Chain A
Amino acid sequence: MKQEVPERGVLGLGWRRLKGTGSGPRAQAAYRPRFRAWRLWLVGVPNVCLKMVLELYLDLLSASCRAVYIFARKNSIPFDFQFVDLLKGHHHSKEYIEINPMKKLPSLKDGKFILSESVAILFYLCRKYSTPSHWYPPDLHTRARVDEFMAWQHTAIQLPMSKILWVKMLIPMITGEEVPAEKTEQTLLEVKNNMQLFEEKFLQDKMFITGDHISLADLVALVEMMQPMGSKYNVFLNSSRIAEWRMRVELAIGSGLFWEAHDRLMKLAEWDCSTLDPMVKEKICKLLQKFR
């Protein structure tokens, strides 16, 4: 499951546009990333000359990374895609720890300025690149609605959605053991309840969370709700309002970009976890005791 990094374009910025083949949303993806920066570090190229282009350290398996990736691409923000392979434990490497000592993704590096936390990164990109105002509306009340969702989602959406992926697929895959049914049921119930809260409080009868236009809140909500799809669990089935909103957000982003960003997640079931670093596997097993 190699993930590739966009090659630099003519002016050393942006990426090369490649033609897709066949039909369907994924084949229409205009850009194919190419494996890149890790090779430089491996051969010991010194980091003396600071890159002027923005660097985003990402693995699209992570919902937070997908939010940042989609936002940057959608807004044509030029950046270097620095692939940090979560499945190979590269976020624990010496090189990455220098970028983010807390070993989390995504990270942003803008010259000497390094920033973690996807919500902070999204706000930073909005401000620095003066993106269209609907992403983070300037109106006091509307902006507060985005802030409200962005704060709530950490524990109410991101964590439980990620838990489904772990409980239904990653834990059994990595440890060879099933999670107790009671624990799985508990997780699914929590997600169901929070999706209901999402619909009743945040979405209601509107097109998008803030009203008529997509904002950062919709983007973050959707990429997180997609996480269980990696284990073939679809949280959009229970409510037609949510299903319709999901489609609207996808279309506002662009189906090509949306599905390109979700490709790695959707292929997770094919991952050969015997390639998982044994030390990382041990760390995961210890972490997983908490789930049991």
Chain B
Amino acid sequence: MGLELYLDLLSQPCRAVYIFAKKNRIPFELRPVNLLKGQHLSDAFAQVNPLKKVPALKDGDFTLAESVAILLYLTRKYKVPDHWYPQDVQACARVDEYLAWQHTTLRRSCLRALWHKVMFPVFLGEPVSPEILAATLAELDVTVQLLEDNFLQNKAFLTGPHISLADLVAITELMHPVGAGCQVFEGRPKLAAWHQRVEAAVGEDLFREAHEVILKAKDSPPADPTVKQKLMPLVLAMIQ
């Protein structure tokens, strides 16, 4: 059995792994894991990832969780072009810096924006107060500004003149609130231009394909009551 990637393209980190593998022509078997049906909570999936999260990788007997770790593993194993994760110590450090920073900042803000704006009311049938939604969107605004001011600045890509893992991880995160109907690129010409550059570097078709699911998030059918019961505490923990 070759490389297997356990993914649900609803999830931002899954999209980053999917695009990276496809872009670099890394052969893999796609193992879909439907988050909205709670498939990540199954015993079978726990054998692949006891943390019960996607993405997860299985390469023979070797299993691996965490998208950043998976991206780095694929980078090293398949010897992808240098710009993704440069050999140069300082250039590489810039990518590491972004990949570390984003966990508790952009990832969190984007996740909360999607769930508060769309998934709670539409999928879980739970209303979200206007105050909470406003606070979440304000926090997103602040974080996106931090991304622009501290990472992008006046560069073509987040860490320099070429696309890297940092850009891929960032863009897939930002598509979460976009899927929720938030205009994150509006009024931000620098960021909008960067978005275009990243999409062009990845390839528009691949980008569109990877984001089909999230762009339809608003049309998610309501959760089955048993599934909702299973997912609710985990969702609340995830977005706190």
Contact = CB atoms under 8 A, between A and B. Distances in A.
B73 A144 contact: yes
A292 B72 CA distance: 38
A192 interface: no
B146 A152 contact: no
B65 A117 contact: no
Interface stretch (A18-26, A87-95, A123-131): A123-131
Interface stretch (B94-102, B118-126, B210-218): B94-102
B93 interface: yes
Contact of A120 (B62, B64, B93, B150): B93
B66 interface: yes
B66 A120 contact: no
A63 to B, nearest CB: 14
B72 A144 contact: yes
Given A148-B69, A151-B68, A197-B51, A119 B237 contact: no
A147 B69 contact: yes
B64 A151 contact: no
Interface string A110-124: 000101111111011
Nearest to A122: B96
B89 interface: yes
Interface in A129-170: 140-141, 143-144, 147-148, 150-152, 154-155, 159
B66 A140 contact: no
Given A101-B150, A140-B77, A154-B104, A115 B97 contact: yes
Nearest to B90: A113
B73 A140 contact: yes
B92 interface: yes
B76 interface: yes
Nearest to A115: B93
Contacts of A102: 146, 150
Interface in B66-92: 66-69, 72-73, 76-77, 89-90, 92
B115 to A, nearest CB: 15
A200 interface: yes
Contacts of A55: none
A201 interface: yes
Given A159-B104, A197-B50, A147 B66 contact: yes
Interface residues of B, number: 29
B208 interface: no
Q: Which of B67, B96, B237 has the most CB of A within 10 A?
A: B96
A190 interface: yes
A124 B96 contact: yes
B149 interface: yes
Interface in B188-215: none
B90 to A, nearest CB: 6
Contact of B89 (A119, A128, A159, A190): A128
B93 A154 contact: no
Given A128-B89, A140-B73, A148 B64 contact: yes
B76 A140 contact: yes
B72 A119 contact: no
Contacts of B65: 148, 152
Given A120-B99, A152-B66, A154-B100, 12 more contacts: A102-B146, A116-B101, A117-B101, A121-B93, A140-B77, A141-B62, A144-B62, A144-B69, A147-B66, A147-B69, A148-B65, A151-B68
28 contacts: A101-B150, A102-B146, A115-B97, A117-B97, A117-B101, A119-B96, A120-B93, A120-B96, A120-B100, A121-B93, A123-B96, A124-B90, A127-B92, A140-B76, A141-B62, A143-B72, A144-B62, A144-B73, A147-B68, A147-B69, A148-B65, A150-B69, A151-B66, A151-B67, A151-B103, A154-B103, A155-B103, A190-B237
Interface of B: 50-51, 62, 64-69, 72-73, 76-77, 89-90, 92-94, 96-97, 99-101, 103-104, 146, 149-150, 237
